[in-house]
Structure formats: structure tokens, C-alpha cells
């Protein structure tokens, strides 16, 4: 990290960067979608059936992931037209971040559960 983390300008910039990073994974479906696309591309209907999600919610989540450059959408010129989704290299860069968040979340959850038992 450069600069003083607590100075006003740096703090605001870092807070925005942290918010943007956390927003990438917000929601119950994004991680599941990315995990299922990691091995290779999938058609919309196959993805929907595999993760048991409504078409409306899946469409919204896929659009958000595409907007954030975590997946690509490819329309195949078939009859009828089919759409395939695949994970981007940019998304693969997030695996370490997701893994760190998972590890932290598991530790945090365990501490909270232990504290509530007292």
C-alpha cells in the first residue's frame, strides 16, 4: 500500500475500492455461477438447471457478472440461437480473493458461534 492509509483522501479511495471489490461477490448466486462456469462454458438452460435458479434471477446475475467482466456471453448462430457463458481470465484472478474471504468468513462465523454459546 502506498501513502498513509488513514489520511482523508487515501481512506476515501480505499473505502471505495473495498466497496467495489465486495460488490463483485454480493448476493447468493454469483459465487455459485462462477464456480459452475470455471470448468468450461455452459448454456443458459444448463446453468439454470444445474444451480436451480429462476430464469429471471439468473439473467440478472449473469448481466451483472458480464458488466463486471467476470464472464463473457457468446451467442451461437444455431437454429434456434443458443447462448453460452464462460468465465474470463479476469474472473480467475479473483479466486485468491474469494478464497481469502471464505477462510476469513469461516473463522469469523466460528468465533461468533463460540461467543454466542457463552
Tell me the pLDDT tens digit for each residue of 6-17. 666 688 888 888
pLDDT digits (tens, 9 = 90+) for 45-77: 999 999 999 999 999 999 999 999 999 999 999
Residue 5 confidence class, pLDDT cut points 50, 70, 90: low
> Domains of the chain, with CATH numbers?
8-117 (1.10.10.10)
Residue 118 has pLDDT above 60, yes or no: no
Beta pairing partners, 83: 75
User: Is pTM beyond 0.85 here?
Assistant: no
Amino acid at each position: 500500500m502506498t501513502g498513509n492509509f488513514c489520511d482523508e483522501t487515501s481512506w476515501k479511495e480505499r473505502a471505495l475500492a473495498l466497496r467495489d471489490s465486495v460488490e463483485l461477490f454480493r448476493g447468493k448466486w454469483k459465487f455459485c455461477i462462477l464456480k459452475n462456469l470455471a470448468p468450461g462454458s455452459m448454456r443458459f438452460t444448463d446453468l439454470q438447471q444445474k444451480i436451480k435458479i429462476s430464469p429471471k434471477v439468473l439473467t440478472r446475475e449473469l448481466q451483472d457478472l458480464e458488466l463486471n467482466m467476470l464472464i463473457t456471453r457468446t451467442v451461437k448462430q444455431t437454429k434456434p440461437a443458443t447462448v453460452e457463458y464462460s468465465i474470463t481470465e479476469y474472473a480467475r484472478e479473483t479466486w485468491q480473493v474469494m478464497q481469502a474471504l471464505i477462510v476469513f468468513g469461516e473463522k469469523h462465523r466460528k468465533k461468533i458461534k463460540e461467543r454466542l454459546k457463552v
